[in-house]
Amino acid sequence: MLSGRRVRELGSHPRYLDILGLNFYYDNQWVYPNGRPPWETMPRDLRRRLLHRLLGQINSRYRRPMIMAETWHFDDRRGRWLPVANEMDLAQT
C-alpha cells in the first residue's frame, strides 16, 4: 500500500519509499491456528522462513535500501539469538 501498487487512490507512490526499516523478532512467525512455534525450533522447523530469505524477498519486491531497525530477545536467551546477525550477513551475498 505504501508503494501505491495495491490501492493507488490513497496517494502512495514508490518515490515515497527511500529506506525500508525492518524489524525481526523471535516471535515474528506464527502458525495458524496454534500460535507461534517455539523460537528455538527456527532452524529445524521447515515451516519457518529464514531471515536472509525474507530479506531477499523484500529486496526483490521494493528494490530500496534496507536497515535492520530492531531485533531482540529477552532474559538469558539473548545470547542464543545472536546468530540472527549471521542471517543478515547471508542476505548481503
Query: Could you say which DSSP state residue 37 is in?
Result: P
Instruction: Write down the residue that cell numbers 502458525 correspond to.
Output: 31
Ramachandran bin of 63, using left for φ above 0, alpha for ψ from -120 to 50, beta for the remaining angles = left
Higher pLDDT, 44 or 51: 51
Strands, E assignment, 19-74: 20-25, 66-72
Torsion (CA) 25, 27, 31, 35 in degrees, nearest 10: -150
Query: Could you say which DSSP state residue 36 is in?
Result: P
Question: pLDDT per residue over 47-84, tens digit each?
Answer: 778 889 999 999 998 888 999 898 887 788 777 777 77
Rounded mean pLDDT of 6-30? 84
